A = this chain, B = another copy of it.
Amino acid sequence: MKTAEATATSAGEVHAVVEVREKGSLDRATIVRTGLRLLDEVGIDGLSTRRLATELGIKSASLYWHFKDKDELLNEMSTVMLRECLHLGNANEPGFDALDWLADSARAIRSTALSRRDGAQVMARPLLKPPNTKTPLDDNRKALMRLGLTEMEARLAMHTIRRFAIGAAIQEQSSPPVPGTCTAAEGFEFGLKTFMDGLKVLIASRAHK
């Protein structure tokens, strides 16, 4: 006796649980969310507009009413993933340490990227223009500036950290673990610590000026 894993409707097709929805109820957020779920199942190469449309219960042509093209969709997925890993603590909290926050945000970016199949490749894409994530990032940048960094240095430090974390995750997801070396996580921590040490050198040089 076969126990079907499928849903209520008895017949036919096994995989691809199709979403049921009424006419006007499909928006960009739903498409992006479904895209991210599908990414985990099929990977970046399997994530076609046709497959995604099937998953959403529509035809692929319909996607082009919501998005200009596939690139725009992927960029929005990238933006959502970055937003996912910014719930980290705000500069206004009591025991806030800007350097700890910076290192932790690097770890969060890496693990968010690693949390889904080909996640790093998605996060390496450009972000959409207006991330409303502006506010917490602004606060944290100011916290870095209070340590003695210029505005541009603070901006660059955050930028570099993000770049390093995504670069590391890309390599981890695309290459087999390098033989004769430690684990990927340890390698990441080495790079992160070294960068943070360099940043402390810069801060120290600002302090006694």
Contacts and interface: CB of A to CB of B under 8 A. Distances in A.
Interface of A: 124-127, 152-153, 155-157, 159-160, 163-164, 166-168, 170-171, 174-176, 178, 180-182, 187, 190-191, 193-202
Contacts of A175: 126-127
Given A167-B163, A191-B164, A194-B202, A182 B152 contact: yes
Given A167-B163, A197-B197, A156 B191 contact: yes
Nearest to A162: B171
Of A153, A181, A197, most B-chain CB atoms within 10 Å: A197
A167 to B, nearest CB: 2
A125 B174 CA distance: 6
A186 B153 CA distance: 11
Nearest to A161: B191
Q: How many copies altogether?
A: 2
B174 A159 contact: no
Contacts of A155: 180-181
Given A163-B167, A198-B197, A201-B197, A190 B153 contact: yes
Main secondary structure of the interface of A (DSSP, over half): helix
Contacts of A182: 152, 156
Q: Which 3 A-B pairs have the closest CB atoms?
A: A167-B167, A198-B198, A197-B198
Nearest to A190: B156
13 contacts: A124-B170, A124-B171, A124-B174, A126-B174, A152-B181, A156-B181, A156-B191, A159-B178, A159-B181, A163-B191, A167-B170, A170-B170, A196-B198
A175 B200 CA distance: 29
Nearest to A125: B174
